[in-house]
Amino acid sequence: MPNYNMYSKLGKQLIFDFIKDRMQEKKITQLKLSELIEINESTLIRNFKGKTEMLLTTYLKICGALDLRPYLIPLEIDENEFKRLFFN
């Protein structure tokens, strides 16, 4: 039987690494991101460190602030039909 806990932790870390890379690309600090999505910076830091679980609404706000689709494709190269959902 697969170890879903291990895979989910690995997947979460990959997503957070991708988000952090995108933040660097767009020159957005954790403080600036927390202000953009209207959450406390310490909450965002705890989410990224895995100390607390990130809410889905927080994840979607981050995607909007970083011009990402929720499925982690940058807005500028998105050719997916989900484009019509206007997450950004």
Q: Domain with 80 in it: what CATH number? A: 1.10.260.40
Cα–chain center distance at 43: 14
Tokens of 44: 């965002």
pTM of structure = 0.79
Q: Taking all residues of the chain, what is their mean pLDDT, rounded to a whole number?
A: 87
pLDDT digits (tens, 9 = 90+) for 47-68: 999 999 999 999 999 999 999 9
Domain count, the chain: 1
C-alpha atoms less than 13 angstroms from C-alpha of 46 in its C-beta half-sphere: 11
Residue, of 82 and 20, whose pLDDT is higher: 20
Q: What percent of the chain stands above pLDDT 90? A: 62
Domain of 27 in residue numbering reads as 4-85
Instruction: Check if the beta carbon of residue 31 is closer than 8 Å to that of residue 40.
Output: no
> What was the pLDDT predicted at 43?
97
pLDDT, mean of residues 32-61: 96
pLDDT at position 30 over 70: yes
